[in-house]
Each structure stands twice: as structure tokens, then as C-alpha cells.
Amino acid sequence: MRSAGRPQPPTKLQRLIEVAALATWISRHLSAREAISVALSQAHFAPDVVGIAAAARRFFDKSLEELDAGEIAALIAGSAGPSMYPDRPERLRAPRDALLRKLHDHGLIDEPTMQAAMERDVRRFK
């Protein structure tokens, strides 16, 4: 039974309906590139870090434009489970490399860029 005075958090079903409605709106109004840009600008990379530009500054002390392909891939791969990586960045290698291969397979980065990024160690987050 819900109390009358305080707003209650949404139920799982309500949240799923909201996500489905948002996904439908995005697919009708934004290009894939725009949708990815919006998602990355709103993604949570740590409890106090929202958006890929803030994550670039927090974890690499660089602007987003200064990041290389490997650093961007590490941030994106790490966003799936940000609490898993700060103390064990080597865990990021496999998901980072998988993302780099996908970027290469889709023609978004060339072979030398992919190879160079994969050869570098996963840098320790600050």
C-alpha cells in the first residue's frame, strides 16, 4: 500500500514502459549518430561522473577531443560496469579490444589505429 504523502519510485514495469517509449521516440526522431551522442552524453561512468566528456576529464585528465581510440573504447567499455574497473583496469582490456574490433569491422577506425590502441596498456584510471 502506497502512502499518500510521499512520491513513490517507479515500479519495474513503469520504468520498462518509459524506456520503451523513449527508445521509440529516439528511433523516430534521431539518426543513429545523434542517438549515440545523446546516450554517451547522459551515460553514468561513475556515481559522480555523467557524460563521456566528464569521464574523459575525470579518468584521463584530458578533453574528449584529446582522447585516442583506445581511451574512448576503454571509457565506453567501462561504462557497462564502472565499479568493476577503477582498481583493476586490466579487466578493461578484453571489452576494450572487442569494441575496437567492432569499430574496425564497421569501418569507423582503420587497421593501424585498431592495432596501435590494442597494443597499449589499459591506462590506470585516476
Q: pTM value?
A: 0.67
pLDDT for 59 equals 85
pLDDT for 3 equals 56
Domains of the chain: 43-119 (1.10.3810.10)
Q: How confident is the model at residue 48 (pLDDT cuts 50, 70, 90)?
A: confident
User: Which three-class secondary structure string do you get for the chain?
Assistant: CCCCCCCCCCCHHHHHHHHHHHHHHHHHHCCHHHHHHHHHHHCEEECCEECHHHHHHHHHCCCHHHCCHHHHHHHHHHCCCHHHCCCCHHHHHHHHHHHHHHHHHCCCCCHHHHHHHHHCCCCCCC
Q: How confident is the model at residue 87 (pLDDT cuts 50, 70, 90)?
A: low
Better-scored residue on pLDDT, 109 or 80: 109
Flag whether pLDDT at 89 surpasses 80. Answer: no
Mean pLDDT score across all residues of the chain = 82
d(CA 125, CA 103): 23
